[in-house]
A and B are shown apart, each in its own frame.
Chain A
Amino acid sequence: MNFALRIYRRLAEAFPHEFKLVYGTDIMQLGEDVVEEIARQHGVAGLIRLVADIAMRVPAEYLSEMRRDLRYAVRALIKSPGFALVGIISLGLGMGVTTSVFSKLWTQIFRDLPGAAHAKDLAMTQGPVSYYYIEQYRTQKSLFAGVAAVQSGVPFNVAFQGNGSAKPERVFGQLVSPDYFSVLGVEPQRGRVLSAGLDKPGDAPVVVITDRFWRNRLNSAPDALGQTLRLNGQLATIVGITAKNFNGILTPAELFVPLTVPAALAPELANDVLHKRDAKEFIPMMRLAPGVTLESAEAGLDAITRHIEEQDPSNPKRNDKSRRATLLAAGTVVPIPRAMKPVVLGFVGLLIGLILTIACMNLANMLLARGAARRKELAIRLAIGASRFRLIRQMLTEGILLAVLSGMAGFALAYWLAVLSSQLKQPSAVPTDFDSSVDWHAAVFTFALAIVCGIGFSLAPALQATRADVAPTLKEGAVVQLRGYRRFGMRNLLVVGQVAGSLMLLLITGFLVMGFSKSNNIQTRFDAHTMYLLSIDPVRDGYSSEKAQAFFEKLPERLKAVGGVRSIALSSQPPFSVMTGTVQLTAAQDPRETSESVKSVATETVGAGYFATLNEPMLAGREFEERDERTSGEGSKGLPLPVLLNESAARGLFGNGNAIGKRVTEDRKAYEVVGVVHDLTNGALADDTASVMYQPLTRRDFASPPAGGVTIMVRSDVGTDALGAVQREIASIDPNLAVFNMRTLADHMELSRAIMRLSVDTYGGIGVFGLVLAAIGLAGVTAYAVARRRKEIGIRMALGASKAQVLRLVLREGATLVAVGTVLGFLGAMAMVKILSALTSIFVDAFNVATNDPRLLVGAPLLLAALAMLACYIPARKSAKIDPIQALREE
């Protein structure tokens, strides 16, 4: 019984302060009075019931207190709709951007690959290897439960049997070893997936399709299983549909073709790729054996790879001591090296932190000003017995309510951004449209963020507002006691921090925007609307390599004869495309010089007449001719492959000397420089001095075109339907050829700009957002300062101060804060640029272009300062309108 009473007392102590104040003693008393009687009547059950009753009431009372706080908070927000609106918009913007960034990160880098089982155990090597290696890896049963071979981003020209008349569509899929699905742990939703036991070389070709393919291209036909598709002109039977959310690993895929199919169906398998030791065409996708860590697997893999390479006498790196294999965790949509994760997190965290800090500081500032205005209300409540804790809790509730409302707005914004970016078509050859829609994880994230922000921006103001001494506050009326000018008062620090943060944000986003727009500025020496781009890929329409080569050799002649066509060129990719990957070029050694110059260059493969078609004159030498296209592309037999260099590459390798006729080497390949061209900006982030080596389009490319097919560039006369004529001509050669990616160069450039534009708009928006926030914050602070010094100003005016003098007095304080904030912000932005440049190369180019631009360096601080002073001036004007008599009478 005593024990029960002890618990009862404990619990009675735990009631909320306000409840305890009124009923605490009564409850305690009543418990003591009845406990004996209850024990007598009901025994232990009664005592338990007594304790249970109070144990349930305590949380119930807290809930009811919270409900009251919430009701009060809603009323408070409704009473000041301007404050609520500004708060919701500013914090909502910040949280929206944050949620959208988080959602991207989460879906691509941190979430387990959808559809795969135990994705944490998946690993892959950093680069592709030959199939022989994968076979060797498979034998390491102690390390790997399974190793599959994957080639991703493989295009297939798919014709549907049902509508045979329609032209084939180009669909991206993956070429996989049959054990792919068992390694990934992907189940079929219908039919079967590929399996090593069922799919053998020489069998009739089969294909497994994704849910997406089934829905979008087969209209969810219930009889899809067993149907045949024409893939690259060859028949393949659909044997299964994968689980709903599985879209392949590495790049989004719509169908999966086993490696066991003949090369006619998949040109990637030509030349006996599966048995060539040096054909590094496949990514090994491994499932670690139980208990094996990524680190130990990597060490094991390194040893095996070293062993394999030492056995191979023809391998030039046979005795290389360096690391042979690097493993990545592959269980996410985008596998990134482990070491990169902190960098990505760091950068994103920095940006998010900055945005949210500014938004929170702004709200904190507004709340401080409000807190001052509410001091009287708070003092009264304190005086009649409300605990300080209670008031702080009340103010925190208001803050959290505001933050949660903002979070909802922010979540809606993030959702809208996701929809917007999913509609944006990417100009890359292989689709990269990962599912990055916001899901419940993002919602949880936003909600948690809202709570943190809500507490973050309202705790300090709440603490300060409730610190008021009750008596003087009540005595003085609404005018709070003058605390004097505090140089390092929290509010001043907040303003300085906000100005500095906003300027940092403005400068960094400004740099990015300027860098992007500058490198985005592609100039052509002709009207981009008169150049048409179209792509064909005859090998995937069932052509043999020989037939495809013959086709391409006669195609330009046929097309040049078409009316309205001025010039024609072939290319492995559209001009001004984003170039990926660089190679190390070495200028062949000059006997007089001992040092050799090495330069890393991007490569582009272009056909005969490419530069003439682009209307780009050669700086020196010649451009590719049709005879260059007739070569095998190996650059062997002592005859080096002819290449062109752009100005930057030529200067980097040969200084100001003549580059024509010189040799350059890359690894084991040798090239001869036959021409030099201007630097062409490619519209991507790369700065405009990027070095490029142009290689000729050769028979090898015709036999196995890149993922985007072979691009035909047609420059036409103005006002002619050259595109239609060219299409008719191609159809007259072979009506079954699939022609895809048809557009004008202008459209193509527009497409590549769209992504940049979205970034520019986003970053620009963030910058402007910071600016507006800073202005709002300053206006609030100045208004508060004016209100606080009302009496002082009244006295000054009564003593003869002019309106201008008063205005100057008020503005001086704001100006000091703005000046300090501007200097700090400027220095901070410069430091951030340095840090970011050192951390990642992504922004270096954009920063390089923009950090030297005086418009931004001078303009941004001036703009911010001007806006800040305006924000000070408007409330400061009020000070001049103070009527000294009234201000003094209020005492």
Chain B
Amino acid sequence: MPEIDPQSFLPLKTQWFHIMFSLAGGEQHGYGIMQEVLERTSGKVRLWPATLYGSFKRLIEAELIEESDERPAPELDDARRRYYRLTAFGRRVLDAECDRLQELVSAIRVKQAMNATS
């Protein structure tokens, strides 16, 4: 399959970014991702269920994430749920997005600094 440029996915859609960012720490199921995003953004971003799974489908189609067959430790495992994880390609796309955001932030900083000195 031909290599797709990670840049072509940038900027990532908000839901995609949050899902992939949550998966950066390891595999996770839908409910878990939803909770994590909610906590990380102090309740500001809620991924609604249907949107969440619609995004999963598209992320899988874009080969950014995949379904995981590895399970966490049995005591944490929720057998009823499907787990997802980032693909190697997905990780590269996420890295590219982080770089982009970082550049954006530093550009803003420079501008603010210039404004402050002038």
The answer to whether A22 and B30 have CB atoms under 8 Å apart is no
The answer to whether B57 and A22 have CB atoms under 8 Å apart is yes
Known: A22-B57, A26-B30. A57 touches B51 (CB 8 A): yes
B31 contacts across to A, CB distance below 8 A: 29-30, 33-34
Known: A31-B49, A33-B31. A23 touches B81 (CB 8 A): no
A23 contacts across to B, CB distance below 8 A: 53, 56-57
> Can you name the residue of chain B whose Cβ is closest to the Cβ of A53?
B48
CA distance A33 to B56 in the complex (A): 18
* CB of B82 within 8 Å of the partner chain: yes
* CB of A853 within 8 Å of the partner chain: no
CA distance A49 to B43 in the complex (A): 15
> Can you name the residue of chain B whose Cβ is closest to the Cβ of A24?
B53
* CB of B34 within 8 Å of the partner chain: yes
The answer to whether A50 and B49 have CB atoms under 8 Å apart is yes
Shortest Cβ gap from B82 to chain A (Å): 6
CA distance A271 to B75 in the complex (A): 113
* In-complex Cβ contact of B48 among A11, A50, A61 (8 A): A50
The answer to whether A54 and B50 have CB atoms under 8 Å apart is yes
Within 8 A of A (CB), among B39-79: 43, 48-54, 56-57
The answer to whether A26 and B53 have CB atoms under 8 Å apart is yes
A26 contacts across to B, CB distance below 8 A: 30, 53, 81-82
* CB of B13 within 8 Å of the partner chain: no
* CB of A224 within 8 Å of the partner chain: no
Shortest Cβ gap from B36 to chain A (Å): 13
The answer to whether B57 and A54 have CB atoms under 8 Å apart is no
The answer to whether A30 and B57 have CB atoms under 8 Å apart is no
CA distance A31 to B50 in the complex (A): 9
CA distance A54 to B43 in the complex (A): 20
CA distance A119 to B53 in the complex (A): 55
The answer to whether A30 and B30 have CB atoms under 8 Å apart is yes
Shortest Cβ gap from A46 to chain B (Å): 9
Within 8 A of B (CB), among A45-97: 49-50, 53-54, 56-58, 60-61
CA distance A29 to B48 in the complex (A): 13
The answer to whether A57 and B81 have CB atoms under 8 Å apart is no
The answer to whether A27 and B80 have CB atoms under 8 Å apart is no
> Can you name the residue of chain A whose Cβ is closest to the Cβ of B58?
A64
The answer to whether B53 and A34 have CB atoms under 8 Å apart is no
B81 contacts across to A, CB distance below 8 A: 26, 29
B80 contacts across to A, CB distance below 8 A: 25, 29
A61 contacts across to B, CB distance below 8 A: 54, 57
A389 contacts across to B, CB distance below 8 A: none
Known: A26-B81, A27-B49, A31-B49. A57 touches B30 (CB 8 A): no
Interface size on B, residues (CB 8 A): 16
B57 contacts across to A, CB distance below 8 A: 19, 22-23, 61
> Can you name the residue of chain B whose Cβ is closest to the Cβ of A49?
B48
> Can you name the residue of chain A whose Cβ is closest to the Cβ of B43?
A41
CA distance A12 to B30 in the complex (A): 16
Mask, B13-37, CB within 8 Å of A = 1, is: 0000000000000000011001000
Known: A33-B31, A34-B31, A34-B34. A27 touches B53 (CB 8 A): yes
A58 contacts across to B, CB distance below 8 A: 50
B54 contacts across to A, CB distance below 8 A: 57, 60-61
Known: A23-B56, A30-B31. A53 touches B51 (CB 8 A): yes
CA distance A50 to B34 in the complex (A): 13
CA distance A50 to B49 in the complex (A): 8
B49 contacts across to A, CB distance below 8 A: 27, 30-31, 34, 50, 53-54
> Can you name the residue of chain B whose Cβ is closest to the Cβ of A22?
B57
CA distance A23 to B81 in the complex (A): 10
CA distance A22 to B53 in the complex (A): 10
B34 contacts across to A, CB distance below 8 A: 30, 34
CA distance A820 to B36 in the complex (A): 73
CA distance A53 to B55 in the complex (A): 13
Within 8 A of A (CB), among B71-103: 80-82
CA distance A22 to B80 in the complex (A): 13
A27 contacts across to B, CB distance below 8 A: 49-50, 53
A19 contacts across to B, CB distance below 8 A: 57
The interface centre, meaning the residue of A12, A27, A49, A50 with most chain B CB atoms within 10 A of its CB, is A27
> Can you name the residue of chain B whose Cβ is closest to the Cβ of A46?
B46
> Can you name the residue of chain A whose Cβ is closest to the Cβ of B56?
A23
CA distance A22 to B50 in the complex (A): 13
Shortest Cβ gap from A215 to chain B (Å): 53
Shortest Cβ gap from B31 to chain A (Å): 6
CA distance A56 to B50 in the complex (A): 9
CA distance A30 to B28 in the complex (A): 14
> Can you name the residue of chain A whose Cβ is closest to the Cβ of B82?
A26
CA distance A12 to B53 in the complex (A): 11
A57 contacts across to B, CB distance below 8 A: 50-51, 53-54
A30 contacts across to B, CB distance below 8 A: 30-31, 34, 49, 52-53
Within 8 A of B (CB), among A643-685: none
Shortest Cβ gap from A480 to chain B (Å): 32
B56 contacts across to A, CB distance below 8 A: 23
Mask, A572-586, CB within 8 Å of B = 1, is: 000000000000000
> Can you name the residue of chain B whose Cβ is closest to the Cβ of A23?
B53
CA distance A27 to B54 in the complex (A): 10
CA distance A26 to B30 in the complex (A): 8
Shortest Cβ gap from B29 to chain A (Å): 8
CA distance A22 to B54 in the complex (A): 11
* In-complex Cβ contact of A53 among B43, B50, B82 (8 A): B50
CA distance A595 to B73 in the complex (A): 115
B51 contacts across to A, CB distance below 8 A: 53, 57
Shortest Cβ gap from B16 to chain A (Å): 15
CA distance A12 to B34 in the complex (A): 18
Mask, A272-302, CB within 8 Å of B = 1, is: 0000000000000000000000000000000
B82 contacts across to A, CB distance below 8 A: 26
B52 contacts across to A, CB distance below 8 A: 30
Shortest Cβ gap from A71 to chain B (Å): 12
CA distance A27 to B51 in the complex (A): 10
CA distance A60 to B51 in the complex (A): 10
CA distance A49 to B48 in the complex (A): 8
CA distance A22 to B49 in the complex (A): 14
Shortest Cβ gap from B66 to chain A (Å): 13
CA distance A26 to B52 in the complex (A): 11
A11 contacts across to B, CB distance below 8 A: 50
> Can you name the residue of chain B whose Cβ is closest to the Cβ of A58?
B50
CA distance A50 to B30 in the complex (A): 15
Q: Given A57-B54, A60-B54, 9 other A-B contacts at CB below 8 A? A: A12-B50, A23-B56, A26-B53, A29-B80, A30-B34, A34-B49, A53-B49, A53-B51, A54-B50
| 26 pairs of residues in contact across A and B, judged by CB atoms under 8 Å | A11-B50, A12-B50, A23-B53, A25-B80, A26-B30, A26-B53, A26-B82, A27-B49, A27-B50, A29-B31, A29-B81, A30-B31, A30-B34, A30-B52, A30-B53, A34-B49, A41-B43, A50-B48, A53-B48, A53-B49, A54-B50, A56-B50, A57-B51, A57-B54, A60-B54, A61-B54
Q: What are the nearest 10 A-B pairs in CB distance?
A: A57-B50, A53-B48, A54-B50, A23-B53, A30-B49, A53-B50, A57-B54, A27-B53, A31-B49, A30-B30
State the B residues within 8 Å of A (CB): 30-31, 34, 43, 48-54, 56-57, 80-82
State the A residues within 8 Å of B (CB): 11-12, 19, 22-23, 25-27, 29-31, 33-34, 41, 49-50, 53-54, 56-58, 60-61
